Structure 1
Amino acid sequence: MVKLFIDFNNGLGEQSLDSLLPQFEVLSFLPEAPKINRETISIPRRHGLILPQHPRDVTYGERKIDVEIYLNARIHENFYMYRHQLYALLVKPFPYYISSDLLPNRRFLVTCDGNFSISKEKEKTYNDFSVEFTNITGMAESKYTTKTAQNLNGENWNHGMNLRSDDNLDYYFKNKKRFSVFNAGDVQINPLDHDYNVILKAAGKNITLINHTNGEKLTIEQEIKKTQEVSFLKQYTIINNKPIKTSGRLPSLEIGWNEFEVQNTNDFNIQFDTRLYYL
């Protein structure tokens, strides 16, 4: 039997559908292919379409996930009650996460707006049907972040998640001016769209963090002390919950290896704590 897990972000964590409503059995879990939003232009006397965007600027649109479910109510009265219980469970005004054991350790942020129905055929007390979810980000994300070692030992990561044979990837660096950060996902990670956190403790003025792989950099335009913890919230750089003056923004993580450099400090530690994103 296929498992469907639901996480409403209410502190209860993941719960399987069959533990919440045992009368329902999941038959399949089918995300659509990723959908690219691409800018194109046509020019007179030029063949085909021109692609003005850099591939890094291409975005992904929302997509559908169809989950096929079977209901066996056994008696007629229960059919209507169970159907109402499923509607109430899945159709919510807010987004939540779903996942499946078919794609372990990945979850999808979805909405369910009730674009499905469970029909009852005459004397039958059973039926199968499809529930339509909308994956609003257009991609899956890892259930764990880079704080959790990327190996198969703890069952937190799986084959198909682009793991390297070297399971000792570093995401924490101390006084190392140049270092490499590996993005094992299928998508560039940026602070505006993703759960991408960096914690920096450093002493110095005009400290600069550069990703030489894509040329992006951030400079903290004030002096900071090692006792202060610098963190990042989307486009903001923060100390003690207060934005500080910077130029640039926290560098994105390209797919694969990212070559970083820290400038204007010899006393620092930095940790990259991010989820990974998959198509």
Structure 2
Amino acid sequence: MTKEIKELDLMIIGGGPAGLTAAIYAARAKMNMVLLESQMLGGQVRTSFTIENYPGFKTVKGDELSDLMAEQAKELGAIMEKFSQITNVTLSDDEKVVETKKYTYKPKALIISTGATPKKLPIPNEEKFSSKGVHYCAVCDGAIYEGSVVAVVGGGNSALEEALFLTKFASKVIMIRRKDFFKGEKSTIDEVLNHPKVEVMYNWDLVNVDGEQFVEKAFVKNTQTGEEKEIAVSAVFGYIGTEPKTELFKEYLKLTTGGYIIADENMQTNIKGVYAAGDVREKVFRQITTAVSDGTIAALAAEKYIVERKRSS
């Protein structure tokens, strides 16, 4: 069957803070637009238990903030399609084509805000114990380990925040840090170091996990001495960085060696009318506030591009 073709002013791919902000601005501008999200609206923010660095909220749960953003966009008239899988993309200066199972979309402009996903732990048994003791979302899976000893691998804000969250359930949280320092916010680092349930293993690296059906132990190696030992844990939670979701676009867009989209200060990529916003874009800082900023700029730039294109046609 031939798919129905939908002509649009703007398409936004990805429904995290960047995409939702862009949708708010697009809806306010009365654009003919749609936002496609392959999962739940909110992106990584939805999996954050508590957020304390977003202006206007002393503290707010991630799912609550996500819902507020989505509700605002919806009330303004934004069309948002959850659980919508894209099957193919074709991009050029002259035409943008985005295909799903049901439709072929032809937007005049496109904002890519697909975000990034956690990097998998580089250990031999990662796949074997995936969701059986190897996890990447404490909010999603932490409650499973009530009263257990768990480990967190990583040294940034995400690792620190998730370790603190896990103390709500676990009897003990072991932080496995391959260096002798953390690189998160000072207040968060202090809270972790002073928490009675947290033990920090500086200069140790996770090399594998094992068990019968579920993780029962972790193998670690000292990065200074080479010493190896095993520790009894019921789970390991990995926070060693993220990988951008750019597989659909790599044929057309300029990417860094790490796969992030290269865009200018107006979020413009190497293709006219295609913009990148949020964690998927190459930049120094990846925060909710910087994602919201990107989404704002991308939407305004896209609106300007669409108006100019209509005038010249």
Please state which structure has a larger fraction of its residues in strand: 1
Q: Which has a greater percent of helix?
A: 2
With normalisation by structure 1, the TM-score equals 0.23
Q: Give the number of the structure whose alpha-carbon radius of gyration is greater.
A: 1
**What's the TM-score, normalizing by structure 2?**
0.21
Query: Which structure exhibits the higher relative contact order, with contacts defined as CA atoms closer than 8 Å and separated by 6 or more residues?
Result: 2
